[in-house]
């Protein structure tokens, strides 16, 4: 038995679309920040009579159970039946990156419970196959998920750009809607790849954003990182909006929160926004300005969380 605690990560440069469906290989590289405070705690126990998964206190739906146990088969080939108990301390499936921490935690706990030793890169490549963004939650701090070019995907994994101690930042998360999103990221990506005329431009242009974000992180240059993040975000959503039918996650409140960020920036506050596969808005800023951003968001959404930069996965006794 083993129990892992893993933080989700939020993409600063986005991943949207795959070059290989089965192996979850991305069409683009991406960059993320692992966040503090939010976490997934997952326990894996082998040697039970049957596979059973309990997520946030309820039995997993059949589609969820298939994804979980197929992933266990990948991490521990020839495994025995297992019980998986996983809890998030934040809303699941609302674009708050719960799949990133969920599949990273499942990978780390399963490997430890089976007594298998992997390098972090190998763990990341395994986590990637459960959910792409999970490849980045194997590290704390700032992480790049390299696109890779090998057909078996062994070079498509996260690498740490800098640990959490490198740069103290805040991500102010405005929860617009904590319910389940209308379309999951996997189906949304597939539709985008198959139908958006913007998709080719997205793939052709991501590298400049990755380079700018990577260098901006190393230089602790928030404007460079924020600028790359907003540009990458807008390009990603332009591919979604031009899919047929469109993949739409934004709500009126999401736009109002984006406006709030632009207004603050006009007033000299260093703050940049991003969104993921859901209506929530996340703003990247400095510790000194986090309260100003929080105050600007309050009233315009269900809840506001101020997160710092999170550390790596840990195993609990
Ligand atoms: O790997 P998934 O299924 O969690 O997809 C992540 C997609 C985005 O959150 C929209 C972007 C990203 O890079 O995390």
Q: What is the pLDDT of residue 179?
A: 74
User: What is the distance between the alpha carbons of residues 137 and 127, in angstroms, rounded to a whole number?
Assistant: 9
Residue 12 has pLDDT above 70, yes or no: yes
Does ligand 1 lie within 6 Å of residue 274's CB atom? no
Interhelix angle 98-113/120-130, nearest 10 degrees: 120
Does ligand 1 lie within 6 Å of residue 15's CB atom? yes
Distance 54 CA to ligand 1 centre (A): 23
Q: What is the pLDDT of residue 145?
A: 98
Using the atom order of ligand 1, give the atom closest to the CA of residue 186.
3
Does ligand 1 lie within 6 Å of residue 143's CB atom? no
Does ligand 1 lie within 6 Å of residue 99's CB atom? yes
Which residue is listed with tokens 């990978």? Answer: 107
Q: What is the pLDDT of residues 203-244, one digit of tens each?
A: 999 999 999 999 999 999 999 999 999 999 999 999 999 999
Q: What is the pLDDT of residue 230?
A: 98
Which residue is listed with tokens 């590289």? Answer: 29
96 confidence band (pLDDT: 50, 70, 90): confident
Distance 80 CA to ligand 1 centre (A): 30
Q: What is the pLDDT of residues 133-190, one digit of tens each?
A: 999 999 999 999 999 999 999 999 999 999 999 999 999 999 998 777 789 899 999 9
Q: Which residues contact 112 (CB under 8 A, 6 or more apart)?
A: 2, 4, 44, 315
What is the CA 83 to chain-centroid distance, rounded?
25
Distance 47 CA to ligand 1 centre (A): 33
User: What is the distance between the alpha carbons of residues 127 and 14, in angstroms, rounded to a whole number?
Assistant: 17
The lowest-confidence range among 89-93, 120-124, 161-165, 299-303 is 89-93
Nearest alpha carbon, ligand 1 atom 9? 276
Q: Is the pTM of this model over 0.85?
A: yes
Does ligand 1 lie within 6 Å of residue 100's CB atom? yes
Q: Which of 7, 8, 10, 16 to mutate to test the pocket of ligand 1 (most atoms within 8 A of CB)?
A: 16
Using the atom order of ligand 1, give the atom closest to the CA of residue 9.
14
Distance 48 CA to ligand 1 centre (A): 33
């Amino acid at each position: 038995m083993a129990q892992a605690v893993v933080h989700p990560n939020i993409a600063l440069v986005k991943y949207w679309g795959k070059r290989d469906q089965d192996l979850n290989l991305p069409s683009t590289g991406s960059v993320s920040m692992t966040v503090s405070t939010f976490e997934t705690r997952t326990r894996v126990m082998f040697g039970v009579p049957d596979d059973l998964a309990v997520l946030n206190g309820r039995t997993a739906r059949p589609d969820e159970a298939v994804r979980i146990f197929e992933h266990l088969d990948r991490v521990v080939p020839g495994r025995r039946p297992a019980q998986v108990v996983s809890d998030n301390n934040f809303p699941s499936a609302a674009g708050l990156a719960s799949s990133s921490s969920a599949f990273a935690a499942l990978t780390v706990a399963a490997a430890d419970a089976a007594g298998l030793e992997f390098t972090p890169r190998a763990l990341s490549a395994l986590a990637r196959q459960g959910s792409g963004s999970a490849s980045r939650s194997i590290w704390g701090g700032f992480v790049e998920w390299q696109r890779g070019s090998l057909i078996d995907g062994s070079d498509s994994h996260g690498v740490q750009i800098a640990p959490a101690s490198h740069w103290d930042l805040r991500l102010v998360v405005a929860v617009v809607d904590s319910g389940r999103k209308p379309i999951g990221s996997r189906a949304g990506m597939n539709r985008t790849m198959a139908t958006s005329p913007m998709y080719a431009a997205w793939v052709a242009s991501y590298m400049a954003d990755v380079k700018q974000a990577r260098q901006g992180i190393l230089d602790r240059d928030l404007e460079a990182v924020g600028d790359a993040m907003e540009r990458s975000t807008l390009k990603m959503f332009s591919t979604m909006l031009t899919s047929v039918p469109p993949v739409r996650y934004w709500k009126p409140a999401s736009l109002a929160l984006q406006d709030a960020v632009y207004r603050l920036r006009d007033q000299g506050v260093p703050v940049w926004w991003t969104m993921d596969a859901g209506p929530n808005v996340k703003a990247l800023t400095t510790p000194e300005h986090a309260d100003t951003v929080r105050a600007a968001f309050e009233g315009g959404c269900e809840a506001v969380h101020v997160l710092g930069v999170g550390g790596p996965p840990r195993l609990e006794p």
